């Protein structure tokens, strides 16, 4: 929806100015840049942004703003601005899009119910791309658009760079899925402004805990993941736990293609050559269905088990034709088809389906949770302050807060790490969709698979209950 409106807007823009106007345009902004200085509130509001969410902004009619609750006197006028960093290109696009859609759904819903303390929510959407440009867009959100909070951030490669910048900028940042881990080590021990996703490794820990249960006869294991912290750490963690629970297992191969690669035939040939009993794959974006398809094309899973820790992020691209039954598949923090789904999740799945003709993936839950935790944090802090809370107060309000998210009750731990329940299970074709689902559904609470605050990961793995 948003993508297509921007596209249309852009086409209109093209229509206005043909070739000549484009040239003229390149001289124009040069003087505009230094003069666009005033730090007034009004200016950034007028600034058109990459994809300012129309539904949210349009709902903010004066009439609705007037019927704000009692605190109205002490609540600033104008909408609450929420900056959103969402990936929109390349293999990570689908995941970023899911997060953005859920945020839009949340904003629409909140605005319909009167906003946050009577203030309407306005989304300012920017692109998550490479670290350098994303840091830049983050600075723009905070310094230029003067947003109240920023949500988003998926790839740890990016949030690792954005994290320290956000710590310096004095505006809360709630990361959907990114962390500030470099390898398994936390780079920001005691964050003030940023809230992070659960450790990257929780999915590997969950999958490793389930591996002996479902694949007890495995003797040799190969691993493949994207070539950065996420892929490498998941593999390291998975091995560490299996070494405890299945000491006889031998690790025969590890492969780390670059995030963004779309051809894995050579890697698959290498895996066939190594001939492991099980392949562990931590792909989480558009590359997961690709490797699945290319693996199916050579019957890779005939006689080999598979563990896909995170591929539930693109679950509806895992078509039955090429995704076998019996793979261990991780859905991260939300399983759209959960038999125990809450009414909220059911409502969301239905709306999502009717609007996009797709089934939502877990990033929706992280995005919804981040936005909802912010709202609850503001409300909690405002009760103490009896006015619209400062950003520091909001951060304090978010710490330890528990809210109803799409996947159920979720909490933001005191040390700024999101908690919740992770879902994994064996793939099955017994459903009404053209893609796989899981049965049985294993629930893995983060109290079980996320290291406690302050613990060192590998130390904890050495002693955690298996």
Partner 1 sequence: MAGPAVAQTSPRAGARAFAPGAWVLALAVLAVLVAPLVVSPYYLTKMLPFFAYGVVLLGLNLLVGYTGLLSFGHALFLGVGAYTVSVATTRLEIRSFEVILLLAALTAAIVAAPIGALCVRYVKIYFGMLTLAFGMLFYSFLIKFYAVTGGDQGLRVAQHSLLGLFEARSGERVRFLTGQFYYYAAAVLAILALVMWRIVRSPFGLCLRSIRDNPEKAEYLGVSVRRHRWYAFMLSAVYAGIGGALLGPVTGQVDPTLVYWTHSGNLVFMVLLGGFTSFFGPLLGAFVFIFLQDQIMSVVPYWRLVFGAILAAIVIFAPTGLMGLLSQRPTLPRWAVLRQAPGPEHAN
Partner 2 sequence: MSNVVDVLLSGVFAASILFLVAAGLQVVFGVLKIFNLACGSFYALGAYVGVSAVNWSLAAGLPRPLFVLALVGGGLALAFVGPIVERLLRTVYDRDEAFQLLLTFAVVLMLEDVTQLVWGTAPYSTGALYLSYGQALILGSTVPVYNLLVIGASVLIAVGLGLVLTRTRWGRIVRATADNREMAEALGVNMRRVYVQVFTLGTVLGTLGGALVIPSTTAISEMGIELIVQAFAVVVIGGLGSMRGALVGALIVGVLRAVAIATRPEVEMLLIYLIVIGVLVVRPRGLFGGAAA
Contact residues for partner 2, defined by CB under 8 A: 3-4, 7, 10-11, 88-91, 93-94, 97, 255-256, 260-263, 265-270, 272-273, 286, 289-290, 293-294, 296-299, 317, 319, 321-322
Q: Which stretch binds partner 1 (CB under 8 A): 168-176, 206-214, 313-321, 389-397?
A: 168-176
Closest to partner 1 by CB, 140 or 380: 140
Q: Which does 38 bind (CB under 5 to 8 A by kind): partner 1, partner 2, none?
A: partner 1
Structure tokens at 171: 């505006």
- HSE, CB side, 13 Å, CA atoms: give it for residue 329: 31
Q: Which stretch binds partner 1 (CB under 8 A): 19-27, 77-85, 263-271, 444-452?
A: 19-27
CB of 214 to partner 2, least distance (A): 25
Site string for partner 1, 253-272 (x = CB under 8 A): ---x-xx-------------
Closest to partner 2 by CB, 93 or 165: 93
Closest to partner 2 by CB, 115 or 257: 257
Q: Which stretch binds partner 1 (CB under 8 A): 150-158, 338-346, 369-377, 432-440?
A: 150-158
Listed residue (218, 277, 274) closest to 245, CA to CA: 218
Please give the Cα distance from 227 to 225 (Å, whole number).
6
CB of 123 to partner 1, least distance (A): 15
Q: What is the DSSP string of 305-348?
A: EEEESSGGGGGGGSBTTTS-TT-EEE-TT--TT-TT--HHHHHH
4, 15, 16, 39: residue in contact with partner 1 (rule CB under 8 A): 39
Q: At what angle do helices 202-214 and 229-245 cross, to 10 degrees?
A: 40
Query: If binding is defined by CB under 8 A, does position 430 make contact with partner 1?
Result: no
- How many CB atoms lie under 10 A from the CB of residue 265? 12
Q: What burial class does residue 189 get, using C-beta atoms within 10 Å of its C-beta: 0-12 exposed, 13-18 middle, 19+ buried? A: exposed
Q: What is the dihedral of CA 421, 425, 427, 428, to 10 degrees?
A: -100
Please give the Cα distance from 330 to 150 (Å, whole number).
27
Query: If binding is defined by CB under 8 A, does position 23 make contact with partner 1?
Result: yes
Ramachandran sector of residue 275 (left: φ over 0; alpha: ψ -120 to 50; beta: rest): left
Question: Which SS3 state, helix, strand or coil, does residue 223 take?
Answer: strand
CB of 50 to partner 1, least distance (A): 6
The residues, any chain, with a CB within 8 Å of residue 140's CB and separated by 6 or more, are 126
Question: Which SS3 state, helix, strand or coil, does residue 425 take?
Answer: strand
Q: Which does 309 bind (CB under 5 to 8 A by kind): partner 2, partner 1, none?
A: none
Please give the Cα distance from 423 to 425 (Å, whole number).
7
41, 58, 69, 143: residue in contact with partner 1 (rule CB under 8 A): 143
List contacts with partner 1 (CB under 8 A): 6, 9-10, 13, 19, 22-23, 25-27, 29-30, 32-34, 36-39, 47-51, 88, 127, 130-132, 135-137, 139-140, 143-144, 156-158, 160-161, 164-165, 167-170, 182, 187, 226-229, 232, 256, 258-259
């Amino acid at each position: 929806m948003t993508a297509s409106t921007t596209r249309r807007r852009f086409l209109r823009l093209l229509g206005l100015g043909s070739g000549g106007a484009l040239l003229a345009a390149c001289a124009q902004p040069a003087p505009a840049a230094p003069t666009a200085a005033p730090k007034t509130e009004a200016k950034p509001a007028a600034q058109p942004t990459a994809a300012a969410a129309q539904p949210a902004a349009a709902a903010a009619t004066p009439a609705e703003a007037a019927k704000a609750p009692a605190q109205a006197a002490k609540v600033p006028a104008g909408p609450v601005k929420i900056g959103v960093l969402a990936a929109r290109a390349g293999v990570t696009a689908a995941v970023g899009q899911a997060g953005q859609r859920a945020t839009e759904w949340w904003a629409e819903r909140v605005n319909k119910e009167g906003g946050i303390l009577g203030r309407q929510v306005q989304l300012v959407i920017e692109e998550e791309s490479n670290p350098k440009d994303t840091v830049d867009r983050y600075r723009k959100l905070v310094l230029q658009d003067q947003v109240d909070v920023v949500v988003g951030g998926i790839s740890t490669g990016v949030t690792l760079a954005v994290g320290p910048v956000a710590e310096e900028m004095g505006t809360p940042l709630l990361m959907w899925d990114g962390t500030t881990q470099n390898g398994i080590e936390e780079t920001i021990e005691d964050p003030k402004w940023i809230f992070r996703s659960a450790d990257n490794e929780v999915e590997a820990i969950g999958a490793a805990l389930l591996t002996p249960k479902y694949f007890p006869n495995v003797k040799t294991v190969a691993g493949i993941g994207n070539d950065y912290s996420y892929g490498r750490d998941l593999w390291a963690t998975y091995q560490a736990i299996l070494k405890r629970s299945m000491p006889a297992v031998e690790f025969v191969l590890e492969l780390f293609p670059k995030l963004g690669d779309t051809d894995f035939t050579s890697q698959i040939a290498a895996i066939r050559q190594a001939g492991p009993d099980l392949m562990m794959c931590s792909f989480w974006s558009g590359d997961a269905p690709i490797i699945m398809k290319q693996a199916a094309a050579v019957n890779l899973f005939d006689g080999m088990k598979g563990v896909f820790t995170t591929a539930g992020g693109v679950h509806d691209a895992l078509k039955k034709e090429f995704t076998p039954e019996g793979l261990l598949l991780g859905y991260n923090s939300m399983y759209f088809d959960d038999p125990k789904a809450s009414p909220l999740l059911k409502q969301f799945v239905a709306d999502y389906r009717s609007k996009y003709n797709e089934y939502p993936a877990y990033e929706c839950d992280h995005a919804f949770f981040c936005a909802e935790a912010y709202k609850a944090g503001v409300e909690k802090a405002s009760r103490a302050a009896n006015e619209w809370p400062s950003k520091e107060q909001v951060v304090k309000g978010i710490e330890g807060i528990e809210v109803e998210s799409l996947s159920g009750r979720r909490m933001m731990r005191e040390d700024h790490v999101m908690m919740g329940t992770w879902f994994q299970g064996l793939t099955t074709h017994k459903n009404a969709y053209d893609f796989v689902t899981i049965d049985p559904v294993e629930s893995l609470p983060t109290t079980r698979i996320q290291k406690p605050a302050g613990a060192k990961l590998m130390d904890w793995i050495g002693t955690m209950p298996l």
